[in-house]
Amino acid sequence: MAATASALGQLAALPAPRHYEDNPATRDRAWVKWGVIGVSLAFFAGFLLLPLATVFIEALRRGWSVYLAAIVEPDALAAVRLTVLAAAVALPLNLVFGVAAAWAVAKFEFRGKQFLISLIDLPFSVSPVVAGLVYVLIFGAQGWFGTWFIDNDLKVVFAVPGIVLATVFVTVPFIARELIPLMQAQGKEEEEAAIVLGASGWQTFRHVTLPNIRWGLLYGVVLCNARAMGEFGAVSVVSGHIRGLTNTMPLQIEILYNEYQFAAAFAVASLLALLALLTLVLKTFIEWRAALAAREQREEEAQ
């Protein structure tokens, strides 16, 4: 995810759109062009479009009534609730973390900054299964604090808190990754100007920094939410798979699928696929807005 996470930050540096095909030096021959487009689109359609279409086709294979029944089924609804809950906890936590980390990294100089940025990225490179495992090791019955939690009748692993923790873990970097390059590119002159004019730290953040990073923030939130709601591996390890209690939507899909209730599995999956499409729409919209702002900025500098 690290690759795209900073995409918005890169937009500011993008040059104005060019027309490569109008320039004899960059124009490819027609057969090269259509050959490349043909091969790459076939690959794209086969590996990306086909699975997406399959979700909806399979979900509706047995008709709308079966589809609707699968979605309003109590266990499915419980899964939706738990998924929303996990995201609702992970988002604000990682939002505050992301803003704090980006403020420290982008506005100040300190030793080990590059290392800190790598640390923030770490959850991206850890297998989700390992992410789940670490919480089992700490809070599980044989874990470090396991006995203490059991003595106090608190369940973390194989219960809702574990699911929330695992979700937070895998989504830690999203918002920070988005904000750091953005705020580094913006520098700190505007903030300094605000302080010279007598603004307090909070006023500076609220009236100067926040408006400047709002699209990047939203972008990070959208991506973070998609991952929080869709996480499977990490959550699977800590969940214990108790139907109606510790199943998120992706886990519910797994259970239904393994019970050969394909239509129901795909019905729940189609909800997540819709969420994914919505995410992409929002993402495209924010990129478009940011590109617009970047273009204005360029015109401004060109004056």
Residues 118-157 that bind other proteins (CB under 8 A): 118-123, 125-130, 133-138, 140, 142-144
Rounded to a whole number of angstroms, the minimum distance from the CB of residue 91 to other proteins is 14
Q: Which CB atom, from 14 or from 68, has the smaller least distance to other proteins?
A: 14
How far does CA 254 lie from the centroid of its chain?
A: 21
Q: Which CB atom, from 73 or from 83, has the smaller least distance to other proteins?
A: 83
Which of 62, 107, 155, 289 contacts other proteins by CB under 8 A?
Answer: 107
Which of 67, 158, 169, 219 contacts other proteins by CB under 8 A?
Answer: 169
* Closest by CA position to 272, among listed 59, 47, 17, 7: 59
Cα distance between residue 103 and residue 113, in whole Å: 12
Does 39 bind other proteins (CB under 8 A)? Our answer is yes
Which of 33, 68, 148, 154 contacts other proteins by CB under 8 A?
Answer: 33
Q: Taking CB under 8 A as the criterion, which residues in 59-88 touch other proteins? A: none
Cα distance between residue 238 and residue 96, in whole Å: 25
- What is each CA distance from 288 to 16, 107, 222, 248, in whole angstroms? 13, 26, 15, 33
- Angle formed by the axes of helices 50-59 and 262-302, to 10°? 140
Which of 31, 64, 108, 260 contacts other proteins by CB under 8 A?
Answer: 108
Which of 40, 81, 88, 92 contacts other proteins by CB under 8 A?
Answer: 40
Q: Which residue has the tokens 């209730």?
A: 261
